[in-house]
């Protein structure tokens, strides 16, 4: 029902409408829930979409990854079909393809960064491009500093530094701009112990530069102060 969710994978706050936009993955839809009191159900923004990740740019365009179609589309709120901005050429590891795109980040230039989950890489699609650029990983599955094991949440800061939740390697990686060769481990990376990460998914920074990580298989959120 519209008052329910099933396996929500991503959420963002739309300040303009004081609402939550949610990737309702298990119901193949993107829904919006008002944060104002009295709201008892959501409204469907996009239906029949195998969505996983969401992002919104400064012009309030909504970006959604579609795992089933191996693509990312951009939507004006209220629009049902959207515009292709990444992938859309079937499943594969070509520069114009994605293989289970999960989380997204969109910068001020409307460049789209995609966690290309089953290709173990992060792709950057410049606005209007017909193929992407590998900005991290792309060296197959593994735990070397050049590799990912099923990347999930990602963020790019104002100077272009990329942060990625490297889920199967139980670590968070930082890749500085222009350094495609390897990243550095900034959190976790020493197994799955209680003082480590276990299958990290989501990332977020606060205004003081603290990094918050949803430590999925440890059922907790951890905060790290990053130098």
Question: How far apart, in whole angstroms, are the C-alpha atoms of residue 72 and residue 3?
Answer: 27
Instruction: Show Cβ contacts of residue 95 under 8 Å, excluding neighbours closer than 6 positions.
Output: 123, 131, 132, 133, 134
Question: Same domain for 158 and 129?
Answer: no
Place of tokens 């594969």: 92
**Cα–Cα distance measured from residue 212 to residue 134, given in angstroms and rounded to the nearest whole number:** 25
Task: Looking at the structure, tell me whether residues 103 and 154 fall in a common domain.
Answer: no
16 and 41, same domain (yes or no)? yes
Residue-wise pLDDT for 95-146, tens only, equals: 999 999 999 999 999 999 999 999 999 999 999 999 999 999 999 999 999 9
Question: What confidence tens digit (pLDDT) does each residue in 56-65 have?
Answer: 999 999 999 9
pTM of the model: 0.94
Same domain? 121 vs 56:
yes
Report how many domains make up the chain.
Answer: 2
Whether residues 189 and 86 share a domain: the answer is no
Same domain (yes/no): 126, 23: yes
Give the range of the structural domain holding residue 207, as residue numbers without chain letter.
139-227
């Amino acid at each position: 029902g519209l008052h329910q969710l099933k396996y929500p994978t991503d959420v963002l706050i739309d300040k303009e409408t004081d609402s939550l936009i949610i990737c309702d993955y298990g119901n193949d839809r993107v829904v919006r829930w008002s944060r104002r009191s009295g709201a008892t159900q959501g409204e469907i923004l996009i239906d029949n979409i195998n969505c996983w990740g969401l992002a919104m740019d400064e012009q309030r365009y909504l970006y959604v990854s579609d795992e089933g179609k191996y693509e990312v589309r951009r939507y004006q709120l209220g629009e049902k079909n959207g515009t292709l901005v990444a992938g859309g050429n079937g499943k594969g590891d070509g520069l114009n393809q994605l293989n289970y795109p999960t989380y997204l980040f969109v910068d001020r230039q409307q460049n789209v960064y995609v966690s290309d989950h089953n290709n173990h890489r992060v792709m950057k699609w410049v606005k209007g491009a017909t193929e992407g650029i590998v900005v991290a990983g792309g060296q197959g599955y593994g735990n070397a500093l050049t590799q990912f094991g099923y990347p999930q949440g990602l963020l790019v800061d104002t100077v272009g530094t990329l942060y990625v939740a490297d889920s199967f390697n139980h670590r968070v990686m930082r890749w500085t701009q222009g350094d495609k060769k390897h990243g550095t481990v900034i959190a976790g990376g020493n197994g799955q112990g209680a003082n480590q990460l276990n299958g990290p998914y989501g990332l977020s920074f606060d205004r003081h530069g603290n990094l918050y990580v949803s430590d999925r298989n440890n059922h907790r959120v951890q905060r790290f102060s990053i130098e």
